[in-house]
Structure 1
């Protein structure tokens, strides 16, 4: 029997989300129903709300989530009812060339693993409701394939644990997997929101000898210092002036630049502040059709690298255990990344609060009994 739940539904881009009663389908063989505990508000969700990224509507957004397994399909083997889990938007089959080659975020079989003959969510009138990333976690419960789930320790508070599914996976993952930072390296992180702060922590954990935080907002730079930045640069509208400020700190440029904003200008800045043989890793999602312009001589003659790292090029199943150990040892500060925790009904107020320059992550609370 379909499960009646409440969900925050995006009816049209540019409009507030509406709390609606919808029906969640029964799990198929390899699917799992998860009762939502805490869910984070990610800037990619905000892009869909504003319409700068497109999605079929009506839709339920949300993907950075922790919850408890409520039901499992007949063929599920990796999790069981009662398990506490976090979810990734980049499931991996473990069988294709990309997965076996250590690049699971590029899994060639994602569309196949997500395919189903009927919608996961419907309104009571039978209208299908899209689930972002085949998750749709802005709801009391959601339905995902077991390959999207990783068990997570109960020693991590729920408000911190939910960050592992996107913010931390992307930021720390970019430092560890995408950029492969070492103790020899100097690093610049452009954009000090949730993913940028996670990238700064990832660079610190990886042992980077200098970490330069770059942002246009002074309050965000103050936050960046608290999370491990050794130096800060206040970005200006003049990208070359910003690059000059970075070179005053590190005259030869940086070995690694991680971009966590999602604009062509900041992606180009990441490349332009590289030292020869340096690597720029772009994390920010940009609207379809955007183009980057970089100097060809700097690329070729300087052996510089410009690369993407979708979702930080994470390795989700093993990364969750890594993040957990670093958190429990005090090396990864998740608690301080939680700016505010709001009840689910205040989701639109949460999106508004994201504009506060001191906000790192806003969390929604669905299970009142958990901390």
Structure 2
């Protein structure tokens, strides 16, 4: 089958600038769809691979939070059509395994099968295979993914906003609603006010949580967190965070969401819990990371720590729900996009992630039709 030339940002070595190269993308095979990329979010997960704190086979094209337009459908595709505007998930579920039918599609036991293909998605100019992160590789002009990875969105959802639905929004909102089941009797703390953290804050507000404490290093992010639903804020650089939170909510909070990805903040999340509370860890941590917890606080206080991979989202249903909340002003996605860069400026976009005002930078692929 012929391959299609695409411009892409290629990671050749950890810590080095991304190389803008012409790669060759395979055409969609059975059950696959080619999507022209319109916008791709820069996620902290991508940054982990960029710096080498998480491993990936190199060379690689990173990026997994993406919106685009369907350009070509392979045999067997029957749910999406050419011209559909779509967002992509990194966890294309089968809908048939025990995990899927029990309501946990992000734990699908056949994700590997969905991603597996006989030929590499991408090759370089010498014909050597190039890894696509999560079998997506969104920092490229076009991608080929399984149909199961796609949700259709309407044209009134801006592409930069739509891209966020694929990762940070579905993760942060899903963790609160599906993973933790937050309700109006709950108190919530969110550690880290980046994209996932801000989504969790908004979801806690939507769920009716009676107190929502935002915790971050930067005043600028705390100010935005307050506008998005936080009832209280704690500047983590200013002193003892646990003491500050317990001053606000004596005894601790019922739910803590860790959206940073460090052992120290995971341990802090547990330390903020009231008896019976649950700490939900969302941030990916460097390979080999370990956390240390007070055993007595677990046993005697009935406290729990859990993960919530991709927020335990139910992608197709959640995208419909999230876009409805966005349209009716209950979910502010516009405020989450704080910067836009062209593909050639993607390294600058990653550098900007450290800025106090940065929530999500999005790579834009020109003025193509959306």
Shared fold (TM-score, shorter chain, > 0.5): yes
Separation in 2, partners of 1:139, 1:212: 38
Offset, 1:98: 0.8
1:4 partnered with 2:5: yes
1:32 aligned partner? 33
CA-CA distance at 1:124 after TM superposition: 2.1
CA 1:158–1:122: 2 relative to 1, 3 Å: same
1:249 is aligned to 2:248: yes
User: Which residue in 2 is equivalent to 1:322?
Assistant: 321
In 1, the alpha carbon distance for the partners of 2:353 and 2:264 equals 22
- 1:347 equivalent in structure 2: 346
Distance (whole Å) between structure 2 residues aligned to residue 44 and residue 250 of structure 1: 32
1:158–1:370 contact (8 Å) kept in structure 2: no
| Equivalences for residues 158-169 of structure 1 within 5 A | 158-169=159-170
Name stretches of at least 5 consecutive residues in structure 2 with no aligned partner: none
Conserved 8 A contact 2:38-2:368: no
Q: Following superposition of structure 1 onto structure 2, how do residues 251-330 of structure 1 map, counting pairs within 5 Å?
A: 251-330=250-329
Structure 1 stretches of 4+ moved >2 Å: none
Q: Identify the residue that residue 64 of structure 1 maps to in structure 2.
A: 65
Alignment partners' CA distance in 2, 1:281 and 1:363: 26
What is the aligned partner in structure 1 of residue 213 from structure 2? 212
**1:46 maps to which residue?**
47
The structural deviation recorded for 1:369 is: 3.9
Q: 1:282 & 1:329 partners in 2: Cα distance?
A: 29
CA distance in 1, matches of 2:351, 2:288: 28
Q: Distance between the aligned counterparts of 1:128 and 1:107, measured in 2?
A: 27
Aligned to 2:177: 176
Q: Is the 8 A contact 2:35 2:68 kept in 1?
A: yes
Alignment match, 2:84:
83
The alpha-carbon deviation at position 185 of structure 1 amounts to 0.6
What is the DSSP-based 3-state SS (H/G/I as helix, E as strand, rest coil) of the residue aligned with 1:200? helix
Contact kept, 8 Å, 2:339 with 2:360, in 1: the verdict is yes
Structure-1 separation of matches of 2:127 and 2:281: 40
Which residue is equivalent to 1:360? 359
Q: Which ranges of structure 1 fall in alignment gaps of 5 or more residues?
A: none
CA contact (8 A) 1:220 1:358 kept: yes
For the residues of structure 2 that align with 1:81 and 1:369, how far apart are their CA atoms? 15
1:362 partner SS? strand
Contact conserved, 2:196 with 2:259, CA < 8 A, in 1? yes
1:332 aligns with 2:335: no
How far off its partner does 1:367 sit? 3.3
Once the 2 structures are TM-superposed, how far is the Cα of residue 237 of structure 1 from its aligned partner? Answer: 8.5
Q: Secondary structure at the match of 2:63?
A: coil
In 2, Cα distance between equivalents of 1:54 and 1:325: 37
SS at match of 2:165: helix
Per the TM alignment, residue 355 of structure 1 is displaced from its structure 2 partner at its CA by 1.1
The answer to whether the 8 Å contact 2:48/2:286 transfers is no
| 1:107 corresponding residue in structure 2 | 108
How far apart, CA to CA, are the structure 2 residues paired with 1:74 and 1:370?
Answer: 25
- Contact 1:36 / 1:367 at 8 angstroms: preserved in 2? no
Per-residue CA deviation, residues 156-203 of structure 1 (Å, 9 max, x unaligned), is: 111111110001011111111111100111000000011111110111
Distance (Å, rounded) in 2 between the aligned partners of 1:292 and 1:340: 33
CA 1:369–1:128: 2 relative to 1, 3 Å: closer
Structure 1 position 234 matched with structure 2 position 235: yes
Quote the Cα distance in structure 2 between the aligned partners of 1:329 and 1:24: 39
For 1:189, what is the secondary structure of its paired residue? Answer: strand
Q: Is the 8 A contact 2:182 2:204 kept in 1?
A: yes
Q: Distance in 2 between matches of 1:366 and 1:216?
A: 32
Q: Kindly state the Cα deviation for residue 340 of structure 1 after the two structures are TM-superposed.
A: 1.3
Give the distance between the partners of 1:147 and 1:186, measured in 2 at CA: 36
Whether contact under 8 Å (2:40, 2:64) holds in the other structure is: yes
SS, match of residue 22 in structure 1? strand
Report what 1:225 is aligned to: 226
| 1:123-142 matched pairs, under 5 angstroms | 123-142=124-143
- State how far apart, in whole Å, the 1-side matches of 2:232 and 2:36 are: 42
Deviation at 1:370, TM superposition (A): 5.2
Deviation at 1:226, TM superposition (A): 1.5
Equivalent in the alignment of 1:144: 145
